[in-house]
Amino acid sequence: MMSHDQAHPLIDAFLDGELGAVESADFEGHARQCRQCQDLLAARRALLERLRRAPLRYPLPAGSERRLLASLPAAPAPRARRMLSSLPLPAALAASLVLAVGAYWAGHRHGDSRLAAEAFASAHVRSMLAEARVEVLSSDHHTVRPWFTGRLSFAPPVPELAADGYSLVGGRVDYVDHVRCAALVYRAGAHWITVFVAPNDSGWRSGDERTREDGYQVIRASTGTFRMVTVTDMADAETRRFVDRWLAAAAG
């Protein structure tokens, strides 16, 4: 049985879910019989709840994203190739896609159709580099949609399209073409689909259009309230079908 002196330093890690299963069970075993630990736990839970409820984060000042990124020098990169060769193989393959797709990103201007399409394709490919694919992993739109609350200034539509053969993998917050947006990730067999969503007035170019970027379809459409940009390596007809189903489900 854990003593109070052993348990006390673990209170925060216990509350944060950072203890292993065994340690966690030991801690709980002690806390059940220790009045002092119960009081400390209650006080700490109240504090954490209070911190969680208040918007303590300092948001980026308006316009500073653009200012900051514009400040980056266009410096030469003699070692880019060598770095690729040191990556594990799948990462190197994906990275070479990023190189191909993102070739014009650095000179990319807001509203330029071709360069913007590349930005979306690049964001899609980047997310295929494993870790950043989704931040909330769930096939349930009741989980995914509320997750965006507080992370974005709008609530994106999150259609479930499992009946049409597209499974929702999850979502994340992304920053593409100068706009903070929702990225929804779907899967259809071996194909991945990313749908970027932002309000109509966010600054993304309007109009429905389809472009191809290095093997990726980039399709822009609107629900009336939201702009959506779909990126996938599916075939043309299948991509069009997906977009139609997505728009119909988002409207209904």
Residues 154, 181: Cα–Cα separation, whole Å:
9
Among the listed residues 175, 208, 215, 235, the single contact to another protein using CB under 8 A: 175
Q: Does residue 33 bind Zn ion (CB under 5 A)?
A: no
User: What is the total count of residues that contact another protein (CB under 8 A)?
Assistant: 64
Candidate ranges 31-39, 72-80, 119-127, 179-187; the one touching Zn ion (CB under 5 A): 31-39
Q: In what order do the strands lie in the sheet with 216-222?
A: 136-137, 167-176, 179-188, 191-199, 226-232, 216-222, 209-213
Residues 165, 186: Cα–Cα separation, whole Å:
10
Minimum distance, C-beta of residue 22 to Zn ion, in the bound complex (Å): 18
Residues 160, 252: Cα–Cα separation, whole Å:
11
Residues 250, 61: Cα–Cα separation, whole Å:
32
Q: Cβ closer to another protein: 31 or 243?
A: 31
Among Zn ion, another protein, none, the one that 79 touches (CB under a kind-dependent 5 to 8 A) is: another protein
Residues 125, 50: Cα–Cα separation, whole Å:
39
Q: Does residue 4 bind Zn ion (CB under 5 A)?
A: yes
Q: Does residue 250 bind Zn ion (CB under 5 A)?
A: no
Q: Cβ closer to Zn ion: 39 or 140?
A: 39
Residues 10-49 that bind another protein (CB under 8 A): 11-13, 16, 18, 36, 40, 43-44, 47-48
Q: Does residue 103 bind another protein (CB under 8 A)?
A: yes
Classified as helix, coil or strand, 217 is strand
Does an H or E element contain 249, and which?
A: helix 236-251
- Applying CB under 5 A, the residues found at the interface with Zn ion are 4, 7, 34, 36-37
